[in-house]
A and B are shown apart, each in its own frame.
Chain A
Amino acid sequence: MLENLYLDGKVVVITGGGTGLGLEMVRALTRSGANLAIAGRRAGPIETARDEVIAAGQDAIAVPTDVSKSSDADALIQATMDHFGRVDVLINNAAMVAENVLKPIWEISDDDWDTAMSVNLSGAFYCARAAAKTMADAGKGKIINVASGFGLRGGRDIYMYCTSKGGVIQLTRVLSFSLARYGITANSIVPGFIPTIDPSADINRTLPQSGDFLPTGKLGKPEDLGPIAVFLSSDASDYMTGEMFILDGAGLASGIAPTGHAPVAGLEP
């Protein structure tokens, strides 16, 4: 019953695939037999990732891509079609995390807002748009959007990241409903706190530095995304669409609180 987890040469396009969460998803997908088109802004990390996939016995290309430019998104899908002849899975993982978050709203410039929204939300839309027609023509496809717990809850002064990630979750739902008739599924992966970014980045001042405030007592690791990326890329997930897979140490099930428990109280008479 579980054979359909194996990816068996499926072609997966992943943005932001050279570093952090993306790189760990690339590694897990490779172990499950996927071939990869790895996109990222900088050539260095995605070329290293490509070489790692090829050394592991799968095929891969590295495609320098700025997802906030729709022409780059179109070129990414075209390069994948040119090399592999198909696109089975798109993972929209690229995102800007290190925005200038610690400003009050009246100090956020139009450019601050537009830049973050265009990478995190427009980038996912552009790539989905570019891939969806190809998938529809094939009668099958999978779109996986990496959102965030901040897409479901608000963070103090984190306007663009929270808003764009909430938009990604909604984009997923609309894609799922609209593309179901073409055999295409769309789901979100919703990570909680997983340290990957430069520890000196501003945003770290608003994020927990340990798991002390999470019910499970620990932060996530980038490798935690691997098994779910494989599941959502595989035929095993064919009936799941429009949904979220949340991995966050039970943070969203409760809330981040220093005590985490209510005082014991007996039943009222």
Chain B
Amino acid sequence: MPTNIPKYLPAEYSLRGHTSIVASSGGKETPQLAAALAEAGANVFAVGRHQDAVDAIRSAVSATTGLATPGYAGRWDSPDGASDVLASFASSYPRVDILVNDTRSFFAKPAAEISMEEWDELNSRNVRATFMLNQAIGRQMLAQRYGRIVNVISNLAERAVINCSAYSATQAAVLSLTRSFAVEWGRSEIRVNAVGSGWSTADDIPLDTQREELLVRYTPMRRKGHPRDLAAMLVYLCSPHCDYPSGQPVYIDGGSNAHP
């Protein structure tokens, strides 16, 4: 085992020498997920709809590695946008091994009141942008015959909650794309999986405060999820040793998905 892998990290979780593109819609979870990839040894290229989202990833990664982190800010839910991301990436790194796509904009509103503008914008950010980025990076992975893609989703891909019709539909769509890419690109050594979170926060909120929320009290583990709950699984799904798992969601949601 190379000495630069920390003792606590199983060799199968090492991402040393691998380069990732981490895409964020601006949520506070993504920077911590990117930091986990960096801790496992991956290079990170940050992508975000806004400069703030990119900067948050860069500073979280730099705090872990001490190195500057390149990035791209701008929308990529069009073919031009996705190729701009890749052109920018190519000026920093020669090859992409990993895509972590955490581009979920949350949205909650009664179904009867959702406007078509809201529906289209949400679908463009959550579904169209996911397709574009998976497709653009997938093409490179097909050419090099290797890749690991993880789409970060919500457990609302599996069930309904009041006011989340549009958001849940986008999450189910991303899960479906995850299965399809896994099946279509499997022979090219590309693995595509999803990590699903539940009711979560990127802040460290005291348990008593969390439990004032009804949804926390209905979560079997009786607390919100945190990006650190996804970190190790995400790293594994990005690793070259994650060879047999593909096309599946892994829900880490405090037991909500198995709850009646």
Contact = CB atoms under 8 A, between A and B. Distances in A.
B64 to A, nearest CB: 8
Given A5-B13, A227-B13, A239 B225 contact: yes
A194 to B, nearest CB: 8
Interface in B224-260: 225-226, 228-229, 231-233, 235-236, 239, 241-248, 250-255, 257-260
Contact of A239 (B221, B241, B258): B221
Nearest to A251: B247
Interface stretch (B86-94, B108-116, B128-136, B181-189): B181-189
B236 A3 contact: no
A249 B258 contact: no
B247 A252 contact: yes
Contacts of A246: 245, 248
A234 B226 CA distance: 16
B81 to A, nearest CB: 23
Contact of A245 (B39, B186, B250, B253): B250
Contacts of A237: 232-233, 252
Given A227-B241, A241-B221, A253-B179, A6 B229 contact: no
Give the interface size bracket for A toward B. 35 or more
Interface in A244-269: 245-250, 252-254, 260-261
Given A180-B255, A246-B248, A5 B8 contact: yes
Interface stretch (A38-46, A66-74, A79-87, A213-221): A213-221
Contact of B257 (A214, A243, A249): A243
Contacts of A227: 10, 12-13, 236, 239, 241-242
B155 to A, nearest CB: 10
Interface residues of B, number: 53
A241 B258 contact: yes
B231 A2 contact: yes
A191 B248 CA distance: 12
A249 B244 contact: yes
Given A2-B39, A241-B258, 12 more contacts: A1-B231, A2-B40, A2-B235, A4-B8, A5-B8, A172-B258, A192-B244, A215-B246, A236-B233, A239-B252, A241-B254, A242-B258
20 contacts: A2-B39, A2-B40, A5-B232, A176-B255, A177-B220, A181-B222, A215-B247, A220-B244, A227-B236, A227-B239, A230-B10, A239-B253, A241-B258, A242-B220, A243-B251, A243-B255, A243-B258, A245-B245, A249-B244, A253-B246
Interface of A: 1-6, 28, 31-32, 172-173, 176-177, 180-181, 185, 191-192, 194, 214-218, 220-221, 224, 226-228, 230-231, 234, 236-243, 245-250, 252-254, 260-261
